[in-house]
């Protein structure tokens, strides 16, 4: 099976390493980063491309753009793993549309297009008889979307709530465990590479809110945008507040919650009993899905990371391969 990968950062390289490391029967025929591209129907030398990136060089030919790869490379699945833009969803949205129009499947970890333009993308995929899969967009390694779409098909989902952002969870875990202030815990998260230089997207709950929008629009048949999410971040939390919660065997976590019936989506710090299954440590994610038939299910796992996110992307690729790619 042939894939093209757009974006060769943490996730893109993670995918390449898994393909090489496991000897998967996947040929990469197109590849692009922000400055260059490669097209080779016979299969790109991933090891060479990886070492170029490690030396800080572009992975390919500066004369080949990501859009050239979308339009000219021969692939069965386009793997879109460029950075998320929550306002325009570009350039990923254009890449995906291009591939779907060519009748190629799309797998992505990019939240922008799925949060903003899912209905259109899905219609385009259906019209072209191909699949669009996005497991990696929500909670990294946790196969949450797969579980809800397939495993829990037939259930009515009455509530989804959970810890959707590992950066915030790390900060809150450290504030609770060591009595750190928010600023101290954030600085520590930055040092460890868990928080970006500009942490706004994580700490203001935007990242968690986007994930709620994705779940609401793609699983729960709701029609929501980022503006529909009631959102409070963690920047004003005090170490005293965590202590007050601790005094009652509770703690504080940033919780994303969807109540489909009431049409409520919200991200806010909440008081949670310490023995509650959603109280996970460090950068872990945890999500509880409440259903009518299966009861409550809680999923816990790594929400980010190169290999962990690659796991979700590879899962989607192999899903498509087993069902839809000819010759398999």
Partner 1 sequence: MKLEMRDQPGQLVAALKPISAVGGNIIAVIHQREATTPAEALAVQIVLELPEGRLERLLELLREQGVNVVRIGEERLLYECTLIMIGHLMHTDLSDTVDQIDRTGSAEVTELSVVMPAIDSPSSARITIRSTNRAEMKRAMRILRAVADQKGLLIIEPLEDA
Ligand X SMILES: NC(=O)c1ccc[n+]([C@@H]2O[C@H](COP(=O)([O-])OP(=O)(O)OC[C@H]3O[C@@H](n4cnc5c(N)ncnc54)[C@H](OP(=O)(O)O)[C@@H]3O)[C@@H](O)[C@H]2O)c1
Residues that bind partner 1 (CB under 8 A): 161, 232, 236-238, 240-241, 243-245, 247-248, 250, 252-253, 255, 268-272, 276, 278
Footprint on residues 180-219 left by ligand X (CB under 6 A) = none
Determine which helix (DSSP H) or strand (DSSP E) holds 257, and give its type and residue range.
Answer: strand 250-259
Residue 22 contact, options ligand X, partner 1, none, Cβ 5-8 Å cut-off depending on partner type:
none
Of 260 and 269, CB closest to partner 1: 269
Footprint on residues 132-151 left by ligand X (CB under 6 A) = 136, 140
- Are 52 and 59 spatial neighbours (Cβ–Cβ below 8 Å)? yes
211 catalytic? Reply is yes
> At closest approach, how far in Å is the CB of 176 from partner 1?
13
Residue 109 contact, options partner 1, ligand X, none, Cβ 5-8 Å cut-off depending on partner type:
ligand X
Of 100 and 139, CB closest to partner 1: 139
Residue 82 contact, options ligand X, partner 1, none, Cβ 5-8 Å cut-off depending on partner type:
ligand X
Query: How many degrees, rounded to 5, is the angle at CA 250 between CA 244 and CA 254?
Result: 95
Footprint on residues 4-33 left by ligand X (CB under 6 A) = 6-12, 32-33
Q: In whole angstroms, give the CA distance from residue 7 to residue 18.
A: 16
Catalytic residue among 111, 211, 274, 302: 211
Among the residues of the chain, which ranges form H helices? 10-22, 46-54, 66-72, 92-101, 111-127, 144-146, 166-178, 182-191, 200-203, 206-218, 239-246, 306-324
> At closest approach, how far in Å is the CB of 326 from ligand X?
28
Those residues whose C-beta lies under 8 Å from the C-beta of residue 292, and which sit 6 or more positions away, are 155, 156, 158
- Are 179 and 239 spatial neighbours (Cβ–Cβ below 8 Å)? yes
Bridge partner list, 289: 160, 297
Of 8 and 182, CB closest to ligand X: 8
Q: In whole angstroms, give the CA distance from residue 251 to residue 263.
A: 27
Q: In whole angstroms, give the CA distance from residue 236 to residue 148.
A: 34
> At closest approach, how far in Å is the CB of 140 from ligand X?
5
Interaction between residue 35 and ligand X (CB under 6 A)? yes
Footprint on residues 50-109 left by ligand X (CB under 6 A) = 66, 81-84, 91, 109
Catalytic positions: 211
Residues that bind ligand X (CB under 6 A): 6-12, 32-35, 66, 81-84, 91, 109-111, 136, 140, 304-305, 309
């Amino acid at each position: 099976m042939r894939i093209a990968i757009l974006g060769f950062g943490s996730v893109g390289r993670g995918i390449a390493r898994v393909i090489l490391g496991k000897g998967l029967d996947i040929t990469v025929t197109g590849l692009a980063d922000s400055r260059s591209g490669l097209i080779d129907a016979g299969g790109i030398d991933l090891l060479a491309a990886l070492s170029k990136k490690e030396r800080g060089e572009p992975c390919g030919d500066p004369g080949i753009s990501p859009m050239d790869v979308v339009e000219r490379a021969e692939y069965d699945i386009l793997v879109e793993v460029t950075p998320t833009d929550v306002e325009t969803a570009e350039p990923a949205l254009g890449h995906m549309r291009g591939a779907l129009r060519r009748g190629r499947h799309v797998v992505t970890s990019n939240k922008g297009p799925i949060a903003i333009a899912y209905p259109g993308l899905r219609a385009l995929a259906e019209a072209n008889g191909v699949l669009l899969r996005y497991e990696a967009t929500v909670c990294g390694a946790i196969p949450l979307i797969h579980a809800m779409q397939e495993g829990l098909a037939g259930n009515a989902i009455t509530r989804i709530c959970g810890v959707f952002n590992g950066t915030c969870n790390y900060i809150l875990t450290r504030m609770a465990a060591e009595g750190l202030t928010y600023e101290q815990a954030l600085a520590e998260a930055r040092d460890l590479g868990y928080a970006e230089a500009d942490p706004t997207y994580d700490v203001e709950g935007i990242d968690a809110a986007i994930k709620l929008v994705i779940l609401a629009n793609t699983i729960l048949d709701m029609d929501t945008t980022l503006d529909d999410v009631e959102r409070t971040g963690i920047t004003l939390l005090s170490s005293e507040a965590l202590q007050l919660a601790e005094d009652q065997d509770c703690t504080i976590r940033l919780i994303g919650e969807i109540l489909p019936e009431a049409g409520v989506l919200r991200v806010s710090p909440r008081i949670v009993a310490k023995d509650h299954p959603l109280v996970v440590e460090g950068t872990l994610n945890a999500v509880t899905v409440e259903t009518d038939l299966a009861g409550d299910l809680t999923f816990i796992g790594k929400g980010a990371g190169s290999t962990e996110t690659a796991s979700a992307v590879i899962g989607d690729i192999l899903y498509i391969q087993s069902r839809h790619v000819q010759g398999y």
